[in-house]
């Protein structure tokens, strides 16, 4: 028996180790190494006869162009087959065998994921002279979660098209497929709305560190360009128009819709007691829908309590309370959210909200919740009990504006707790019970990056990498496959890609390699 086991180990171990040598992040569910490798000319161009997927092959060629930008090398075909019997959305089989590269997948998400795996294999392939040696493999793979998201706050600081594209490229490389774009908040309104030009020309002035900086925002053409760029990379963009709180920039532009002021939170809310507020927002959402052809709109709903005292002296809110028999301002808040959720659904879109909305009693059908308050686990269980679809993005460990090492000086903490890449990698099983993370309505995970302390691209890089790689495995990889040592080995190789791409990453293996960029120190998180 023992002998048989030893023989088994001797036979399987080298294959297993070698398989993990493939520097793939997220690591696939099943990798079978085959005997014969496939040598390819370094400057080959890939193509497919399945024209529907030209965009995915174009992406592959573009990402590999660094190998030889201008060469028009030999052509290498990729056989692409859509086969709807082949598993869940995003699943794929990639085979490199007998000189043939083939991808089979049930849908275009799966085809793209197969292409990304091929890209990573090409990037890490050994070279021999003018050839790269692709390993012979059969990779059968599927995601653990359908929603693998990342949120960027561009209200507090605006980064612009090129930076957003760079993030989208990083996301695509890690098979992350949802970009939640926080476009409006107290410090700036970043989305051009043609019917209300002051939203950007006035509301786009300022940021968290300089209230007088010139207006910065995206035109509708910019948005369309970015939406298309994302789509080519299997990423859907979910725009967030935060309301009724965090609305200061909009109220600055159009004070008539303000719900009033309370110390420290000037014009923080929209006025829920005025009919015209609803038509104003409805007009905005129609334009949002026009430029974001996806079918999801995030309406915020978070932290309204910060400004709700402003409603106490507001005659419109008083009138609403009297007419509806409300006894608590929370009822006015939830009345507002219900009205807006209804508008979004009439636009044929799914509504997304932060987890405060669970208490609002929205219809659960076509409403998704971002659970972010890790100190309020009952909100998560209530959301699931009520039948909402839920995305897990708790501050610990999924807020990337938190520091990632105890010695870091800029960024948030929760008491002494912070968000190391290892904690991200092991999420959600390191934080939640299996009845939660395996619940059918938990559709995925997401990291959020708030930018109060992030002014420079350097700091943005530092907070994102390598946590984005860890996020990829959090969303993709089954628990049984997770292994710190093996992940670290692969991550070390990926740091080389960051160097080539000029990314200012945090190196957890050599923390001094890049100094922590400090744009702005922040106070420790205060529990609300
Ligand atoms: C949030 O962090 N206010 C969603």
Q: What is the 3-state secondary structure (H, E, C) of 483-510?
A: CHHHHHHHHHHHHHHHHHCCCCCCCCCC
Residue nearest to atom 2 of ligand 1 (CA): 372
CATH superfamily entry for domain 147-394+431-451: Glycosidases (3.20.20.80)
Q: What ranges in 149-260 are assigned the alpha helix state H?
A: 161-173, 198-201, 220-231, 248-253
Residue 41 to residue 46: CA distance in whole angstroms: 11
Q: Is 302 in the pocket of ligand 1 (CB under 6 A)?
A: yes
Q: What is the pLDDT of residue 520?
A: 76
Residue 268 CB less than 6 A away from ligand 1: no
Query: In the chain, where does the domain assigned CATH 3.30.379.10 lie?
Result: 15-141
pLDDT 10s per residue in the chain (528 long)?
455 555 544 444 444 445 557 999 999 999 999 999 999 998 899 999 999 999 999 999 999 985 555 667 789 999 999 988 878 999 999 999 999 999 999 999 999 999 999 999 999 999 999 999 999 999 999 999 999 999 999 999 999 999 999 999 999 999 999 999 999 999 999 999 999 999 999 999 999 999 999 999 999 999 999 999 999 999 999 999 999 999 999 999 999 999 999 999 999 999 999 999 999 999 999 999 999 999 999 999 999 999 999 999 999 999 999 999 999 999 999 999 999 999 999 999 999 999 999 999 999 988 999 999 999 999 999 999 999 999 999 999 999 999 999 999 999 999 999 999 999 999 999 999 999 999 999 999 999 999 999 999 999 999 999 999 999 999 999 999 999 999 999 999 999 999 999 999 999 999 999 999 998 766 555 443
pLDDT value of position 522: 65
Cα(135) to centroid of ligand 1, in Å? 44
The reported pLDDT for the residue numbered 15 is 45
> From ligand 1's centre to the CA of 292, what distance in Å?
22
Q: What is the pLDDT of residue 519?
A: 87
Quote the ligand 1 centre to 395 CA distance (angstroms).
8
Query: Which residue is it, tokens 């490229």?
Result: 169
Residue 303 Cβ contacting ligand 1 at under 6 Å: yes
Q: Kindly report the pTM of this predicted structure.
A: 0.94
Q: Are 341 and 362 in contact (CB under 8 A)?
A: yes
In angstroms, how far is the first alpha carbon of the chain from the final one? 59
CATH 3.20.20.80 residue window(s) in the chain: 147-394+431-451
Q: Does domain 15-141 have CATH number 3.30.379.10?
A: yes
Q: Which two tokens stand for residue 338?
A: 């219900």
For a mutational test of ligand 1's pocket, the pick from 182, 354, 371, 396, i.e. the residue with the most ligand atoms closer than 8 A to its C-beta, is 354
- 372 pocket-lining for ligand 1 (C-beta < 6 Å): yes
Within 8 A by CB and 6+ apart from 174, the residues are 25, 26, 468, 469, 471, 472
The reply to whether ligand 1 has any atom less than 6 angstroms from the CB of 150 is no
DSSP 8-state secondary structure symbol assigned to residue 62: H
Tell me which DSSP letter residue 257 carries. Answer: G
d(CA 46, CA 475): 29
Question: For residue 520, how far is its CA from the centre of ligand 1 (angstroms)?
Answer: 19
Phi, psi of 351 (to 5 degrees): -95, 135
Question: Is the shortest distance between the CB of 354 and ligand 1 below 6 Å?
Answer: yes
| Pocket perturbation via mutation, ligand 1, pick of 355, 372, 376, 401 by most ligand atoms within 8 A of CB | 372
Instruction: Spell out the residues 6+ positions from residue 292 whose beta carbon is closer than 8 angstroms to its own.
Output: 223, 227, 237, 238, 239
User: What are phi and psi for residue 418, nearest 5 degrees?
Assistant: -145, 180
Say if residues 248 and 266 touch (Cβ distance below 8 Å). yes
Q: Who's near 351: CB < 8 A, 6+ residues apart?
A: 296, 297, 298, 299, 341, 344, 345, 362, 366, 367, 368
Distance between Cα 415 and ligand 1 center (Å): 17
372 C-alpha to center of ligand 1: Å?
7
- Cβ(222)–Cβ(161) under 8 Å? yes
Which of 152, 303, 527 has most ligand 1 atoms within 8 Å of its beta carbon, as the pocket-test mutant?
303
Measure CA 288 to chain center: 19
């Amino acid at each position: 028996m023992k002998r048989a086991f030893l023989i088994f180990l001797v036979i399987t171990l080298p294959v297993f180790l070698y398989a993990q040598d493939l520097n793939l992040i997220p690591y696939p569910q099943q990798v079978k190494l085959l005997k014969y490798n496939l040598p390819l000319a370094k400057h080959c161009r890939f193509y497919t006869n399945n024209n529907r997927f030209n965009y995915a092959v174009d992406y592959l060629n573009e990402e590999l162009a660094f190998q030889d930008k201008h060469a028009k090398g030999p052509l290498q075909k990729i056989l692409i087959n859509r086969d709807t019997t082949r598993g869940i959305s995003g699943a794929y089989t990639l085979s490199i065998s007998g000189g043939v590269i083939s991808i089979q997948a049930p849908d275009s998400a799966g085809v793209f994921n197969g292409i990304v795996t091929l890209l990573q294999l090409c990037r890490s392939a050994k070279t021999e002279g003018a050839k790269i040696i692709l390993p012979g493999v059969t990779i059968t793979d599927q995601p653990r979660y359908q929603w693998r998201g990342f949120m960027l706050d561009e209200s507090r600081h605006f980064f612009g098209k090129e930076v957003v594209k760079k993030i989208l490229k990083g996301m695509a490389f890690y098979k992350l497929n949802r970009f939640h774009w926080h476009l409006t908040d107290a410090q700036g309104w970043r989305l051009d709305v043609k019917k209300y030009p002051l939203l950007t020309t006035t509301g786009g002035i300022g940021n968290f560190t300089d209230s007088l900086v010139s207006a910065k925002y995206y035109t509708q053409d910019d948005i369309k360009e970015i939406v298309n760029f994302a789509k080519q990379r299997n990423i859907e963009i979910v725009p967030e128009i935060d309301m009724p709180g965090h609305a200061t920039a909009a109220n600055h532009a159009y004070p008539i819709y303000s719900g009033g002021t309370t110390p420290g939170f000037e014009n923080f809310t929209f006025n829920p007691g005025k009919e015209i507020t609803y038509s104003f927002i409805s007009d905005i959402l129609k334009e949002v829908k026009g430029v974001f052809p996806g079918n999801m709109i995030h309406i915020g709903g978070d932290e309204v309590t910060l400004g709700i005292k402003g409603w106490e002296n507001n005659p419109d809110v008083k009138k609403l309370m009297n007419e509806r028999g409300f006894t608590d301002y929370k009822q006015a808040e939830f009345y507002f959210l219900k009205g807006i959720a209804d508008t979004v659904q009439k636009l044929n879109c799914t509504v997304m909200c932060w987890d405060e909305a669970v208490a609002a009693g929205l219809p659960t059908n076509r409403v998704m919740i971002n659970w972010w308050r890790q100190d309020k686990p009952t909100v998560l269980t209530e959301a699931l009990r009520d039948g909402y679809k839920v995305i897990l993005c708790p501050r610990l460990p999924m807020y990337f504006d938190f520091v990632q090492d105890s010695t870091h000086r800029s960024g948030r903490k929760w008491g002494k707790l912070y968000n190391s890449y290892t904690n991200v990698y092991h999420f959600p099983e390191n934080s939640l019970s299996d009845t939660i993370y395996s619940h059918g309505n938990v559709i995925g995970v997401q990291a959020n990056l708030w930018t109060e302390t992030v002014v420079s691209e350097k700091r943005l890089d530092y907070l994102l990498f390598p946590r984005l790689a860890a996020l990829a495995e959090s969303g993709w990889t089954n628990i049984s496959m997770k292994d710190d040592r093996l992940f670290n080995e692969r991550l070390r190789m990926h740091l080389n890609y960051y160097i080539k791409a000029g990314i200012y990453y945090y190196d957890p293996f050599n923390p001094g390699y890049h100094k922590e960029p400090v744009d702005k120190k922040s106070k420790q998180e205060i529990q609300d």
